[in-house]
Copies of this chain bind each other. A is one copy, B any other.
Amino acid sequence: MLIRPKAGILDPQGVAVERALPALGFADVANVRVGRLVELEVEDASQLQAMCESLLANPLVEDYEVQLLNGSG
């Protein structure tokens, strides 16, 4: 699952990265947003959305995106 700060919500980690990069010599960087990546194996993929809403993401301030890999299917 990819979990991102919602558009319009302040992202302090993103702001910190955006300020730090020019000091390290990286120019022309904009719109830095820092989110989370949660990877797991589960039998029943239909549970993933509920997992995000009840534990992995904060639906007030974060959006989540579920991606399936069907690894060991």
Interface size class of A (residues with CB under 8 A): 20 to 34
Residues of B close to A33: CB separation below 8 A: 38-40
Oligomeric state, in copies: 2
Q: Is there contact, CB below 8 Å, between B32 and A39? A: yes
Contact yes or no, B36 A41, CB < 8 A: no
Q: Tell whether, in the assembled complex, residue A37 and residue B35 are in contact, meaning their CB atoms are under 8 Å apart.
A: yes
Q: Which residue in chain B gives the minimum CB-CB distance to A16?
A: B55
Please measure, in the bound complex, the distance between the C-alpha atom of A51 and the C-alpha atom of B27, giving whole angstroms.
Answer: 11
**In the complex, what's the smallest C-beta–C-beta distance from A43 to chain B, in angstroms?**
4
A-side residues, CB < 8 A to B, are 2-4, 14, 17-18, 20-21, 24, 26-44, 47, 50-51, 54-56
